[in-house]
Structures are given as structure tokens and as C-alpha cells.
């Protein structure tokens, strides 16, 4: 996998087969292709996502006037 990036632009990636020398020979063509893409659209389009539904308001349990009794610790023996 090979990629190039420019400031304020999204990266351009591609996959190539071959040795390192073979792939390095193809880098100038990849850079030229990336520059053409960046001139037309430097950034990928923003996703138009639906807004999340509002979270429900949690219901509060009724408060009692007397303090709650502490629970007994269970006895296992």
C-alpha cells in the first residue's frame, strides 16, 4: 500500500505489486494523480448523516421522607 498526502487535503492511497524499486518508479505518477484529484476536490465530501434521536429524559424515582434503611449484608455461613 502506498499513499501521498498534502496539507489541507485528504490522502490518496493505492496498492501496488512488485519490488520496492518497481513501486518507487510509480510514485511520480501517483503524486500527479493525487494533485489532479486535489485540484478538483481536496477533501472528501462531508457525510450527510441523520441527526441522532433525542435521548429520553430519565424518570426520577419518588423520594421518600424517611431515610432508606441500609441493606443487611448477606450471610453465607
pLDDT tens digits for the chain (77 residues)?
889 999 989 999 999 898 999 999 999 999 999 999 999 888 877 888 899 888 887 777 666 666 667 778 888 87
In a domain, 72, yes or no: no
In a domain, 29, yes or no: yes
pLDDT reported for residue 54: 87
User: What is the value of pTM for the model shown?
Assistant: 0.54
In a domain, 21, yes or no: yes
Containing structural domain, residue 7: 2-40
pLDDT reported for residue 57: 77
pLDDT reported for residue 65: 60
Q: Which residues contact 4 (CB under 8 A, 6 or more apart)?
A: 11, 12, 27, 30, 31, 34
In a domain, 10, yes or no: yes
In a domain, 19, yes or no: yes
How many C-beta atoms surround the C-beta of residue 59 within 10 A?
6
In a domain, 7, yes or no: yes
In a domain, 61, yes or no: no
Start-to-end C-alpha separation, the chain: 64
pLDDT reported for residue 19: 92
Burial class of residue 34 (count of CB atoms within 10 Å of its CB; 0-12, 13-18, 19+): buried
| Number of compact structural domains in the chain | 1
Amino acid at each position: 500500500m502506498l499513499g501521498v498526502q498534502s496539507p489541507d487535503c485528504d490522502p490518496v492511497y493505492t496498492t501496488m505489486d512488485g519490488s520496492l524499486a518497481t513501486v518507487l518508479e510509480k510514485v511520480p505518477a501517483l503524486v500527479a494523480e493525487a494533485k489532479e484529484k486535489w485540484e478538483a476536490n481536496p477533501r472528501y465530501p462531508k457525510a450527510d448523516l441523520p441527526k441522532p434521536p433525542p435521548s429520553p429524559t430519565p424518570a426520577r424515582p419518588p423520594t421518600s421522607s424517611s431515610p432508606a434503611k441500609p441493606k443487611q449484608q448477606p450471610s453465607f455461613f
